[in-house]
Chain A
C-alpha cells in the first residue's frame, strides 16, 4: 500500500528543488507581506511602544516631558474615578451584549431562510452600519429629546417622560440603545453566514429523530454555531470596552461623568487636560484589562471542533 505523504510544502520544495529554491520561495513570501508588516509596525507597534515610554513621563502634547517612573501608574490605580469609568464599561457590556446578541441571532434566524423579500430585509438591516456614529447620535438625541417621539409615545400611554440624556440614570440607557442599534447589524451577518454554512443533513437527521424546532435550535444549531457566537461575544466585549464615539457624540461623558468610559478618560487626559503621561499610563493599564478579559473569555469557551 502506498504510504501517505506527510511532508510539508517547504519540505517538498526543498526535496525537489533544493535549499536555495526554498529560500527563494520564502523570500517571495516575506516580500509580499512586507508592505503590511511595515504598515503594522508603523501604525500599530511603534505607537504602542511610544505610548509605553510616555506612560513613565509627565508633560503635555506641547512642551517638554520629564521621566517620573511609576508615578502615573500609581496615580491611576489610587484614583477612584478611573474605577468608576471601568465600571461604566462593564455596565455597557452587561446591558448591551446579551440583548444585542439575542437580537442579532434572532434576526439572523429570520434572514437565514431566503425568500423574495430577503434582499430587501438584508438591506434594511444593514443600514445602521452604513450611518456614521455622528449621524446616528443625532438621530438618537432627537429620538430621546424632551419633546422627541419616544417621550411623545410615553406620554400617550401615561408615563412621565424623562429628559433621557440629561439624567444620570437614563443617559447610559440611550447609549446602550445606540450601540445595540448600530452594532447589532454586524453580528447579524456573521450569524447569517454561519447559519447558512450548517449542512442541511443535520436538520434532516433531527427531523427523522422527531426533534421539534426548539430542540433543533438547542441541540443542532447552537452547538454548531458555537465558534461564531464566541467570536461575536469576544468582538462585542472588546468593542464595548473601547467605547468612545457614541459617548463623545451623545453625552460628552456627562451628566456628571455618569456615561464616561475609560477610553473617553484617556482622550480627555491626553487632549483636553494636557496630561499625556497619565493618558498613556491609563492606556497601558487598560490594554492589560482587555487582554485579560479576552483571554478569560476564550478560556471559558474553549471547546472541541464540532464538525
Chain B
C-alpha cells in the first residue's frame, strides 16, 4: 500500500514535470529548423524591416511569381519592425533560429563579426558581379566576408507641396540661404489665431521621430563627416561640422520655420505634410510612397538637397543614401534554396515589382534609370546617388554610436545644450565607445 503510494507519487511528479517542460525547446517557426521539408517543398524564411506601412502587400506579387517559378520552395516572409530590429535579429541569431534570408542594413557587420552571416562569394556569378559597382559590393563586405548582395538604394531628397510654394511664388531653393528664405516665407499663421500652423520646413523623420539622417546631411554639406579619418572620434566636432549642425537645428530653434519637438505629438507630426501644413521636408525617397498612400490628392514634387558650403560639389548636396542588401545566415540549413531566392530578387524584372511599388531605387544605377525613366520624383532621387554619404560599417555604429548622436540632436533641438557643448559631450562618449 505504502509502496503503491510512493509509486503514484513518483508517476504524478513525473507527469507534472513533463507537462511543465513540454512547451519548451520547440523549434522556431520562422527559422532554420533543419530541412523543413513538407512533402516535396523546402521551406525558407525571409525577414525584412518595413519601408512601407503595407510592406507585405507590396511584396506579395513578387512572392507569387517566385512560387510559380519555384514550386519546390515554400517561402515564409516576416516583416520585422525597425524599433525592435536589433533585439529581434540579435535574439534570433544568438538563439540559433535566424531567418534563412534577411534584408540587412549597414548594421550587418555586427553579425559578420560573430560569424553569423554566410560568405556569399562562392554563390556570386560573374553576371551578378558585373551588375553592381565595386563600391556597392564593398559596402556589403566586412572583414573579408562578402555578406550582403546589393538589393536596393535609397537617397534623401526634399519633398515639397507644390500648391504652397506656388501660392507664395517661392522658387525651388538651390542653396542653404535660399532654403532658409523660402522656409521663412512659407511659415505663417493662416487662421489668424496667433499660432503658426503652416511651416516652411519639417525636421522629424516622416514617422514623427527624430532621425539623425534629417540633420546629418547638413554636416556633410558643410564639410564635416560622421567619423574622423581613423574612426576614433566624431568627424564633425570641428568648425565645418558645427556650422552644418547649427544651420539645420537653427531652422527649428532660432528661425522657427520648423515645428518644435513638442508642438505636436508623433502621430500629428506624421500628418502635417499630408494635411498641407508643411511646405518642405527631406527624407528618403520611399517617403514618396507613403505620401501617395496617405495623401493621394496631394500635388507634391521633389528637389535635390540645397547646396551647402562644402567645396566638393557632390558632397555640397550630401544626402543620406542608405543601401540595403540580402544575406544568408550561416546557421541556415537550406542555403542553396536561400540563394535561389536572392538570385530571383536581384533579377531586374523581379526586384522592380517591389522597388517600383515602394518608390525605391535598384542598387544598380543603370537598372534604376531604366526602371524609373523620367519619373518626376525618382529621377531626382536617382540624380542624388553620387551625393549620398556612406554610413560607417563599424559594428558599434548602430548599436552604440547612433543613439549617442540621436540624443545629441535632441538636446540641441530642445535647447538643453548649445551646439558646441552637445557635440563635445557626444564626441567624448563616442571616443570611449570606439576605443573599446
Contacts and interface: CB of A to CB of B under 8 A. Distances in A.
B292 interface: no
B258 to A, nearest CB: 15
B435 to A, nearest CB: 13
A146 B268 contact: yes
A168 B416 CA distance: 11
Contacts of A34: 13, 16-17
Contacts of B16: 34-35
Contact of A256 (B21, B267, B400, B414): B414
Main secondary structure of the interface of B (DSSP, over half): helix
Contacts of B13: 31-32, 34-35
Given A163-B263, A163-B264, A60 B6 contact: no
Interface in B400-420: 400, 403, 407, 410-411, 414, 416
B399 to A, nearest CB: 4
Interface in A95-153: 141, 145-147
Given A24-B5, A27-B9, A167-B262, A60 B110 contact: yes
Interface residues of B, number: 41
B265 interface: yes
Contacts of B410: 254-256
Interface stretch (B61-69, B111-119, B120-128, B351-359): B111-119
Interface in A259-274: 268, 271-274
B25 to A, nearest CB: 11
Contacts of B5: 24, 28
A272 B414 contact: no
A82 B116 CA distance: 32
B46 interface: no
B20 A38 contact: yes
A146 B110 contact: no
Contact of A163 (B6, B9, B262): B262
B17 A255 contact: no
Nearest to B268: A146
Given A39-B20, A163-B265, A60 B90 contact: yes
Nearest to B5: A28
Contacts of A146: 263-265, 268
A64 B13 CA distance: 39
B229 interface: no
Contact of A272 (B264, B396, B399): B399
B87 A271 contact: yes
B2 interface: yes
A26 B114 CA distance: 49
B226 interface: no
Given A61-B90, A62-B94, A146-B265, A35 B400 contact: no
Contacts of B90: 60-62, 271, 274
A257 to B, nearest CB: 7
Interface of A: 21, 24, 27-28, 31-32, 34-35, 38-39, 42, 58, 60-64, 141, 145-147, 162-163, 165-168, 254-257, 268, 271-275
Given A38-B20, A272-B86, 12 more contacts: A24-B2, A35-B20, A39-B20, A42-B21, A63-B114, A146-B268, A162-B262, A168-B414, A255-B262, A256-B410, A256-B416, A271-B86
25 contacts: A24-B2, A27-B9, A32-B12, A35-B20, A38-B17, A58-B436, A60-B110, A62-B93, A62-B94, A62-B116, A63-B113, A145-B265, A145-B267, A146-B268, A254-B410, A255-B410, A255-B414, A256-B407, A256-B416, A271-B86, A271-B90, A271-B91, A272-B87, A273-B399, A273-B400
